[in-house]
A and B are shown apart, each in its own frame.
Chain A
């Protein structure tokens, strides 16, 4: 009898489909339409390009969704991408650092950014929106200062290969992303800290009354978010053979869009990695398809905005219906 109370794991996939029916069917319809509209869409080459294109947003979304889940946001992601890329590039080309050490320093720059945001959120109780807005400016400024506002070319092939290489026909950035998606998913579902994130986002006060160290949760989430953005920034620098201080401006908002499309509630406390990744795919497929159809990038923005509104409207209607029952 008690066994019936916990649904078996085999139904996890069906539950997932049921919860995400709107966005999953949206994605499927989008793919079907595009495969008819452009014969090139379903080719292996295009799919690999598509996956590589979305890898950065996928990694940023992992961090963003955790920040949103604790009832916050991380506006500094795009700037951290630029900072870590330029820090790594400058260290390799101008300071003569070895590749591993330079990468480590790049990652560290992201961790420090996240730590700052996290400390201000946890101890000073600055809203995450404001704390990360400040860090966004500082990180972007630091990237410009480090490079004199010019792109820093990287000619070290071993480093660039980390971004442009393939393994078994799959671009390396796609593989990194897959690994990170699995790790974050395990982190949220199979660790205490993962559950604490849901608890803090669901009801911060109740989490505190339950003996959860709320500050530690907030700091951890922001540090992870900074780390992930820094990782994405280094991969991007390798793909572009350069550290570019102006890159990734506004990309944090694509991560917000993907999270929201993927059903992560802006009120906090709910969200799943798999659904958020579907949000990333929708945005990526849409962009890829519109490119294939030669739609001007200005119009692409308009379409993206409308799709976000439609998806969120569906989601709101669905959750309202669920509430009434």
Chain B
């Protein structure tokens, strides 16, 4: 291996392992990549940044030989590379770690690592030998796991390490990580980063795709920004700022990312929760939400935030406590009751709970308000269209038609469709659970603006979020949750990352 760390411990530029030049790719109706360029060096973490639909995943699928490009060239170690099949890509040492892990949960780490190998002899698998080899790989990488462990018993972060170890056991030299931290806790992210740094030292090139800018600043050496299928540019991370990147991504100035307009909050309490408790899940949940207020809810994953919101919305049951809307007790036993009481919930898991992915955009946008245009055996198409048009315009949903299948929209547009179906119910209280997870910066900014507009119209918002900068910028007050209860409610002037982190790990 080349020495890639200087005597001072600094990253030294290695030689170029991968060059993708003027890659062009068309799909029916979409020119996905026009002139995409990417150059990656040995031992570097190279971030790939861009809005949804910018072409990041298409570019990576071309690298993995899942798609064939219509134009352009790929060089590996300076030589033109023929990537005709996934096996070719593997032969060149290219490995893609997908957002959804591709492990077999009921098999052991060792079995997962060698699943693609042909068994020697008469199909007989020497389990001991296999585990020994797998353990050697794990030990070599400093991953403290037993090769015989069943994958389903590992945490997500550990499973990711196994995926990476599997890739390296195929001599991977270029590893693509697609949103690797999207479901990891902060501690797990640290673990992953430490591991990535180790890989760097061994000369592995890592292409890192993420929307989380703070992560990119922490882990990457260089950043290539894509926009509308073209490479906007490549910058050295140390020499750039968040604003620079956002400007490159959206192609325009975002005066301020979080629109900081002053809000007037009326003293009227719209929603009050008293002593809400569910054995073993959450307890002593007390808070008030005022008209036109944004109340942030934060805390570690597993602190019970989502569970509390789902209980308020009638999805989960609770043992004790009461929910008051505009001062009178609301009996909420199902989401139907919650909607009738003026609540709306944009769930955390957009694909599992938010959308009917295989149905159309129009179907999804109106499923909560069918009463407004479907009578007995009669559909008022005009009324339906006017609902669709008004929310499409208001949320700037980009879709070729209302008949487009929801699964085919970008993450940001999918989230807007979920927002549309809930805004259509004209809620008093809008609960947003991780509303900006996995969506691009442009769509994020639009959602923030929308939240401000809604509060101006008197809608009250609960925003559950793990991203501290976001929750601090957007909220008027923040409830910090820890181990199933609210450990602190902070007013705007008390906001600080240190405080929030402190309250989310210890009591009181």
Interface residues of A, Cβ cutoff 8 Å to B: 2, 4-7, 186-187, 189-192, 195-196, 198-199, 202-203, 205-213, 269-270, 325
C-alpha spacing A7/B362, complex, angstroms? 12
**Chain B hits for A211, CB < 8 A:** 334-336, 338-339, 368
Cβ contact within 8 Å between A199 and B367: yes
Residue from A7, A206, A207 with most neighbouring chain B CB atoms (10 Å): A206
Bound-state Cα–Cα, A206 to B353, Å = 4
- Give Cα A199 to B27, complex, Å: 29
The segment out of B141-149, B300-308, B375-383, B496-504 that lies at the interface is: B375-383
Whether A7 contacts B401 by the Cβ 8 Å rule is yes
SS class, residues of chain B in contact with chain A: mixed
B389 touches A212 (CB 8 A): no
The number of residues on chain B lying at the interface, defined by a beta carbon within 8 Å of a beta carbon of chain A, is: 39
> Is B450 located at the chain interface by the 8 A CB criterion?
no
Whether the Cβ atoms of B358 and A190 lie closer than 8 Å is no
Per a CB cutoff under 8 Å, which of A186, A187, A203 touches B355? A203
- Asked whether any CB of chain A lies closer than 8 Å to the CB of B354, the reply is yes
Chosen A-B contacts, 9 in total, with CB atoms closer than 8 Å, are A187-B377, A195-B363, A198-B356, A203-B356, A206-B354, A209-B347, A210-B368, A211-B339, A325-B28
Inter-chain CA distance A83–B379, complex, in Å, is: 37
Most buried by A among B27, B379, B381, B399: B379
Report yes or no: B357 in contact with A210, Cβ–Cβ below 8 A.
no
- Given known pairs A5-B401, A213-B334, the reply for A203 and B367 (CB within 8 Å) is no
Which of B28, B370, B379 interacts with A189 by CB under 8 Å? B379
Q: Which residue of B lies closest to A267 (CB)?
A: B358
Say yes or no for B315: interface residue by CB 8 A criterion: yes
Residues of B that sit less than 8 Å from A by CB: 27-28, 315, 334-336, 338-339, 345, 347, 352-359, 362-363, 367-368, 370-371, 374, 376-379, 381, 385, 388-389, 392, 399, 401-403, 421
Report the Cα distance A241→B5, complex, angstroms.
Answer: 92
Q: B334 contacts A206, CB within 8 Å?
A: no
Give chain A nearest CB distance to B67 CB in angstroms.
Answer: 9
Take A199-B367, A211-B368, A213-B334 as given contacts and tell me if A206 and B355 are in contact as well, using a CB distance cutoff of 8 Å.
yes
**For the complex of A and B, 7 pairs with smallest distance between CB atoms:** A202-B356, A211-B335, A211-B339, A192-B370, A203-B356, A211-B336, A2-B389
Please tell me if the beta carbons of B402 and A6 are within 8 angstroms of each other in the complex.
yes
A207-B403 in contact (CB<8A): no
Q: How far is the CA of A270 from the CA of B338 in the complex (A)?
A: 28
**Contact: B421 with A208, CB < 8 Å?**
no
User: Known: A206-B356, A209-B345, A209-B353. Contact between A5 and B367, CB under 8 A?
Assistant: no
* B403 A7 Cβ-Cβ under 8 A: yes
- Since A6-B362, A191-B374, A203-B358 are in contact, a sample of 11 more A-B pairs with Cβ atoms closer than 8 Å, ordered by chain A residue number, is A5-B401, A187-B377, A195-B363, A198-B359, A199-B367, A203-B355, A203-B357, A205-B352, A211-B338, A213-B334, A269-B358
Query: Which of A210, A269, A270, A325 is close to B335, meaning CB atoms less than 8 Å apart?
Result: A210
- Which chain B positions have C-beta within 8 A of A206? 352-356
- Decide: B358 and A202 in contact? CB cutoff 8 A: yes
Closest partner residue, chain B, to A268 (CB atom): B358
B367 and A195 contact, CB distance less than 8 A: yes
Residues of chain A with a CB closer than 8 A to B376's CB: 191
* B315 engages A208 (CB within 8 Å): yes
**Beta-carbon contact of B359 and A199 below 8 Å:** yes
What are the residues of chain A within 8 A of B339 when measuring CB–CB?
Answer: 211
Verify B335–A209 contact, CB threshold 8 A. yes
What's the minimum C-beta distance from B457 to chain A, rounded to whole angstroms? 22
Contact of A190 among B345, B371, B378, B399 (CB under 8 A): B378
Given known contacts A190-B374, A195-B370, A325-B27, A6 and B403 CB-to-CB distance under 8 angstroms: yes
Please determine whether A202 and B421 come into contact, CB atoms closer than 8 angstroms.
no
Q: Does the CB pair A5–B402 fall under 8 Å? A: yes
* B356 in contact with A269 (CB, 8 Å): yes
State how many angstroms separate the Cβ of A19 from the closest Cβ of chain B.
12
- Taking CB atoms, residues of chain A closer than 8 Å to B399 are 5
In the docked arrangement, what's the CA distance between A153 and B339, Å? 55
Q: What CA separation (Å) do A187 and B377 show in the bound complex?
A: 7
Q: Which one of A6, A187, A210, A270 has the highest number of Cβ atoms from chain B below 10 Å of its Cβ?
A: A210
A191 touches B377 (CB 8 A): yes
Which of chain B's residues have a CB closer than 8 A to the CB of A207?
Answer: 356, 367
Considering the chains assembled together, what is the distance between the CA atoms of A179 and B371 in angstroms?
Answer: 26
Rounded to whole angstroms, the CA-CA distance of A278 and B306 in the bound complex is: 46
Chain A residues lying within 8 Å of B28, measured Cβ to Cβ, are 325
Q: How far is B335's CA from A208's CA once the two chains are assembled, in angstroms?
A: 7
Which residue of chain A has the shortest Cβ distance to B403 in the bound complex?
A7
In Å, the complex CA distance between A17 and B327 comes to 56
Q: Is the CB of A269 within 8 A of B359?
A: yes
Q: Tell me, rounded to whole Å, the shortest Cβ–Cβ distance linking B435 to chain A.
A: 15
CB contact between B363 and one of A7, A190, A198 (< 8 Å): that residue: A198
Question: A5-B402, A195-B374 are known contacts. Are A210 and B421 too (CB-CB below 8 A)?
Answer: yes
Residues of A within 8 Å of B371, CB to CB, are 192
